[in-house]
Amino acid sequence: MQQNLKIKTAAIIAIVLICIFGIIGFPKSVDGLKANVQRNIHLGLDLKGGSHLVLQVQVQDAAKTTADQLIEALREDTRTRNIAVGGFDRNDPDQLKDTDTIAVNIHGVDQGKTQLFRNLIAEKYSEWILTPVNGSDYRLNMKPSTLLDLKRNTVTQSLETIDRRVNALGLTEPTVQAHGDAATQSEILVELPGVDDPARVKDLIGATAQLKIVEVKNEGPWKTREEALAGKGGILPLNTELREFMSAGSSGGWYLISRSPVITGQDMRSAKPAADPDSPGRWEAAFTLSQDGARRFEKFTAANIGNKLAVVLDAQIRSVATIQNAISDSGRINGLAGQQEAEDLALVLKTGALPAGIKYLQERTIGPSLGVDSIREGILSGIVGLIAVIIVMLIYYKKSGLNAVLALLLNTVVLIAALAYFGATLTLPGIAGIILTVGMAVDSNVLIFERIREELRTGKSIPAAVDAGFGKAWWTIVDTHVTTIVSCLFLFLFGTGPVRGFAVTLVIGLLANVFTAVFVSKVIFDWELSGGKRVEALSI
């Protein structure tokens, strides 16, 4: 008996030490203690302040891009194989849910070359399904498996790009993760602790900036698009497009440029903002290219000395320069209005382009000052409540009340330590879970004590009454706890973020409570009753 009790006590002390270590580590000073607690207990954004963003990747954008690429490729292939085609177009799915409808229409295919055309599709575009509409018109739909891959890749790529952009902001512990099922939901969750300018961050994350450096055809520039078209007789040469040159908000004319870029955003190695040396007060973003990009750039510039190059950003020409000599690895985009714009552009260039647009579904920004207030008031009210409970317990149950208070404190310690070890985040709903845990922990002790009192009233000896009290209360405690754990299971499986947080905290708290209220409490009673001499009265 004595031996058994010592083993149990040792186990309890060991667990308590492990828990305390989990919360405070080995602090060397008061500041160290604070730092350790802050590191071990992760507070949710609702408590410490920050931005919580849910965004949706507009996958239909990527589907449209893919369809456009298909049209370009088909145009080329039908020409080389001498299949006369009237024209191509695609539909324009506007909503995410319409992504699956993406289709390319091919009109007026030479009826004599039907077999050749079919072969071409089967051979080179097997990820598309060909459906004849009538004798000479066809429709191409994306295969479901290809579509699924496209969705998944688009979301993954967006996730990686956003992750790079967010990390470049230099915040501590930002979170960027998929939200919901990637194939259907295409949502991304971004959590930014301590961000103090959420509107700017939102713009930065959502910037679709696509950068390319292209060859400028040796014509123009024209004042307007119409003039340019008229100058070309209404038809643009193959693989070219007209783009406007914009510099600090004003038009610098329209240029005819090549559609195929020499360099794209993916060839960027780094970019940084700098003051524009040519025009005081203006800013620019200077960039350097990757090795591979630099090689291509050098080859191209060496072959085109005297010709012009344009830096195109988001369908606008940002600078045009004549190639003086072979350039290898750097360039700049000038004419930016301010330092912030230059910084943001440099960041977007560095992190690459998003494969599709994004839409914000949800934003929650808790300013840091509100977070500070919440924590202070939360802690104050928690401590006041705890002290009130402790005082009443001590008055009502005397020395046994002390036992219950110990169990209660221990429960809280075990719960918080478990959260720290699991790396779980403490949020407001989590605190709700802790409050219910404390309520149920108090309840377990009250149940046991009331049962012991009842048993004492029937005239049982003290050890027998304690045993019977614990024994009879046990099944009640099991029933209440299992019922709540069952409900938490459902909340966890079918609930979302905050509801889940509540469920996790509560389950941990209840498991801890079975340990503290039943096991630890009983051991303390056993010590009290094990003095060898007969115990005359129980302080309860």
Partner 1 sequence: MELFKNTNFDFLGYKWPFIIASLVLTAAGFVSLGVKGGPKYGIEFKGGMLMTVKFASAPPVEQVRSVLTAALSSAPTVQTFESGSNELVIGTEGENDSALGKNRQLVIDALAKTFGQPGNGKLDLNNVGSGALASRLLDPLQRAGVQMAQPEVEKLAASVMQYRDEHGGLLTKIDDLKSLPGLTQKVLTVLNQESYLSPYTATRNIEIVGPKVGADLRQQAINATLLALLGMLVYIWFRFEWIYGVGAVLAVFHDTLITIGIFSLMDKEITLTVIASLLTLVGYSMNDTIVIFDRIRENLQLNRKEKLEDVINRSVNQTLSRTIMTSGLTFLAVLSLFLFGGPVLHGFSLALVIGIIIGTYSSVFVASPLVLFWHNWADGRKKTASAGAPKSVATKAK
Q: Which of residues 353-372 bind partner 1 (CB under 8 A)?
A: 359-372
Q: According to the binding rule CB under 8 A, does residue 199 interact with partner 1?
A: yes
Task: Report in angstroms the alpha-carbon separations of 199 from 23, 231, 309.
Answer: 35, 44, 34
Q: Rule CB under 8 A: which of 398-437 touch partner 1?
A: 398, 428-429, 432-433, 435-436
Q: According to the binding rule CB under 8 A, does residue 496 interact with partner 1?
A: yes
Q: According to the binding rule CB under 8 A, does residue 259 interact with partner 1?
A: no
Q: Segment near partner 1 (CB under 8 A), from 74-82, 235-243, 306-314, 390-398?
A: 390-398
Q: According to the binding rule CB under 8 A, does residue 446 interact with partner 1?
A: yes
The residues facing 284 across adjacent strands are 274
- Residue of 417, 397, 407, 416 whose CA lies nearest to 441: 407
Distance CA 403, CA 393 (A): 10
Q: Segment near partner 1 (CB under 8 A), from 70-78, 80-88, 219-227, 497-505?
A: 497-505
Q: Rule CB under 8 A: which of 1-30 touch partner 1?
A: none
CA angle 207/211/212 to nearest 5° reads 165
Distance CA 319, CA 298 (A): 18
Residue corresponding to tokens 């990009």: 293
Give 252 or 498: the residue with its C-beta nearer to partner 1: 498
Q: Segment near partner 1 (CB under 8 A), from 122-130, 230-238, 440-448, 514-522?
A: 440-448
Helix (H) or strand (E) holding 466: helix 462-494
Q: According to the binding rule CB under 8 A, does residue 34 interact with partner 1?
A: no
The torsion region of residue 382 among left (phi > 0), alpha (psi -120 to 50) and beta comes to alpha
Candidate list 39, 482, 530, 539; residue touching partner 1; CB under 8 A: 482
Min CB(445)–partner 1 separation in Å:
9
Q: According to the binding rule CB under 8 A, does residue 506 interact with partner 1?
A: yes
Q: According to the binding rule CB under 8 A, does residue 229 interact with partner 1?
A: no
Residues 6+ apart with CB under 8 A from 72: none
Beta strands in 307-388 (DSSP E): 308-313, 316-322, 330-336, 358-366
Give 142 or 517: the residue with its C-beta nearer to partner 1: 517
- Residue of 448, 445, 435, 446 whose CA lies nearest to 509: 435
Give 151 or 451: the residue with its C-beta nearer to partner 1: 451
Q: How big is the site for partner 1, counted in residues (CB under 8 A)?
A: 84
Q: How many CB atoms lie within 10 A of CB 186?
A: 26
Give 133 or 392: the residue with its C-beta nearer to partner 1: 392
Min CB(511)–partner 1 separation in Å:
15
Candidate list 79, 107, 396, 535; residue touching partner 1; CB under 8 A: 396
Candidate list 499, 514, 523, 529; residue touching partner 1; CB under 8 A: 499
